[in-house]
Structure 1
Amino acid sequence: MTYTVNCSILLTELPLHERPAAAKAAGFDAVEFWWPFAEAVPADKEIDAFVSAIKNAGVQLSGLNFFAGDMPAGDRGLVSWVGRESEFKANIAVVAAIGERLGTKAFNALYGNRLESSTPEAQDELAVENLVAAAKGIAEIGGTVLLEPVSGTPAYPLKTAADALAVIAKTQEAGVDNVKLLADFYHLAVNGDDVPAVIEQHAKDFGHIQIADNPGRGAPGTGELPLGEWIARSRELGYTGYVGLEYKAPAAEAFTWAIRPIAN
């Protein structure tokens, strides 16, 4: 199984630049991150330090988020945020540059919350425009934009796989083919989606899989989701990519489940 450790939610007891090495020490060869900087366009020295941390750890940066605003304050992306278009588009070049330096191919673009200052129609129109721009920007390095349904944030409009796939269809109509579904089994399950049906219909086209158990968003085996079965079926149906570990657990216990079957 090719797992990748999300170092923005795991190993957070450590400074950010120490987490890739900790993931390597735990036996993993790949990591992924939410946007690890406070701004859409960070200083060169900040980018260099992040890139060095990945390279020095000897791990692959398998995935990186686009800048999503102030996540701790509740922001969930700029893709549909009317008024911050220039900020998102400036971020595309930075994301692509980091991806080129580290061989990263998957880039998660959080859609953004609904805003009282804009209509849903205006936000959705902008979202397609921004996703197309992002797709074209990272196509130059062979990259894929990921679009993700999210739970726990009522203002975030993409709740189900169908919601995200409808947006992806619009990007295809606009002429790009490298925007794919990020199938986070935790978010889909919490939102009441039919995860087995999503897998049966779309697994071969998943851009990425992420997992956490429910309830609690904990490690596999701490809840009730049949994660092992869902992953195995996705593989049978053609998914060949990484499985992102995006759950909450103390560093000392984060990977103890890996010594037993995931479907336990």
Structure 2
Amino acid sequence: MGFADQRFDVNLSILFTELPLLERPAAAAAAGFTAVELWWPWTDTPTPGQSELDALKKALDDAGTRLVGLNFYAGQLPGPDRGALSVPGEESDRFRANIEVAADFAASTGCTALNALYGNRVEGTDPGTQDALALENLVLAARAADRVGAVLLVEALNRPESPLYPLVSAPAAIEVVDRVNAATGLGNARFLLDIYHLSMNGEDVSGVIAAYADRTGHVQIADNPGRGAPGTGSLPLEQLLDELRAAGYDGWVGLEYKPGDRPSAEAFDWLPAPARAAN
């Protein structure tokens, strides 16, 4: 197998960020990619105007790029917020206001994966209270995702970079996935397996793949150390992706790495051009 046998998409919230948002789909297409994903692009609002939503959809359509993954509103990303759905008060309200907006935008673009970042622990707030709120909001998000034919993704981040984020291991994220599926009966909550975050946590990535490939709804990669392109660090990314394929995962692999001190368009030399266009 190898890199040429995977289905790659480009995360336009970490690559091509030297360009305005509406120019990034065309830049990804010019680099040879047909699929992209995004963190919630409007970090200051969960409910952008319809004209902004329409403009982004037009940019995706004009470029011929398919949106395959989208985050629900998650506060400031990149930044310290790491999500909103478990944060009592205004942030949780903002997440709830975003649920149907994000789901409807996903439906309009054919996007079938919606990622809900859990949110940081809040000093002085009972973790159990936050977890109960998180489950309520994840149930709402799972139902909205199901309405538009999408899966709900739950992601583990890494403790060194996100010390207040409670889901910093694959088992912790899987536990939340199971709670959501038990609460909804829909079975559409899935694990977002981010190889970079797992490696930063010191987890046995091959072991995680063997244990949870069948419950994985999306994969993201970056090398470690440095969160750069494959080949800039020491992770055996090609081997790990082969292990995922052998375990039955045939979904999208999001390129969620930093381009380094070069334009994003030059950060794909590790991937043969024919392997960039996927159906």
TM-score by length of 2: 0.91
Gaps of 5+ in 2: 1-5
Between the aligned partners of 2:128 and 2:174, the Cα distance in structure 1 is 17
Equivalent in the alignment of 2:257: 247
Amino acid at match of 1:94: V
The reply on whether 1:88 has 2:124 as its aligned counterpart is no
Query: Paired residue for 1:202, among 203, 207, 212?
Result: 212
Amino acid at match of 1:31: V
The reply on whether 1:78 has 2:87 as its aligned counterpart is no
Cα deviations across residues 83-140 of structure 1 (Å, max 9, x unaligned)? 1333211101101110111000001110000001421100111111111110001101
Equivalent in the alignment of 1:127: 134
Query: Paired residue for 1:105, among 112, 127, 132?
Result: 112
The reply on whether 1:258 has 2:261 as its aligned counterpart is no
Q: Is the 8 A contact 2:69 2:113 kept in 1?
A: yes
Asked which structure has the greater RCO (Cα within 8 Å, sep 6+), the reply is 2
Matched residue count: 261
Between the aligned partners of 2:102 and 2:265, the Cα distance in structure 1 is 31
The reply on whether 1:153 has 2:158 as its aligned counterpart is no
Give the C-alpha shift of residue 253 in structure 1: 2.4
Between the aligned partners of 2:172 and 2:208, the Cα distance in structure 1 is 12
The reply on whether 1:168 has 2:181 as its aligned counterpart is no
Equivalent in the alignment of 2:223: 213
The reply on whether 1:180 has 2:180 as its aligned counterpart is no
Structure 2 vs 1, CA of residues 72 and 2 (structure 1 numbering), >3 Å: closer, same or farther? closer
The reply on whether 1:30 has 2:39 as its aligned counterpart is no
Of 169-178 and 143-152, the range deviating more from structure 2: 169-178
Between the aligned partners of 2:79 and 2:29, the Cα distance in structure 1 is 30
Between the aligned partners of 1:99 and 1:50, the Cα distance in structure 2 is 12
Q: Is the 8 A contact 2:36 2:68 kept in 1?
A: yes
Between the aligned partners of 2:206 and 2:46, the Cα distance in structure 1 is 36
The RMSD of aligned alpha carbons is 1.4
Q: Is the 8 A contact 1:204 1:234 kept in 2?
A: no
Q: Is the 8 A contact 2:27 2:265 kept in 1?
A: no
Between the aligned partners of 1:115 and 1:163, the Cα distance in structure 2 is 18
- Secondary structure (helix, strand or coil) at the match of 2:257 reads coil
Amino acid at match of 2:272: I
Gaps of 5+ in 1: none
Between the aligned partners of 2:77 and 2:31, the Cα distance in structure 1 is 27
Between the aligned partners of 1:236 and 1:247, the Cα distance in structure 2 is 24
- Secondary structure (helix, strand or coil) at the match of 1:207 reads strand
Of 207-216 and 171-180, the range deviating more from structure 2: 171-180
Between the aligned partners of 2:70 and 2:209, the Cα distance in structure 1 is 23
Q: Is the 8 A contact 2:31 2:265 kept in 1?
A: no
Q: Is the 8 A contact 1:205 1:239 kept in 2?
A: no
Of 64-73 and 24-33, the range deviating more from structure 2: 64-73
TM-score by length of 1: 0.96
User: What's the % identity of the aligned pairs?
Assistant: 50
Amino acid at match of 2:234: E
- Secondary structure (helix, strand or coil) at the match of 1:216 reads coil
Equivalent in the alignment of 1:4: 9
Between the aligned partners of 2:12 and 2:235, the Cα distance in structure 1 is 22
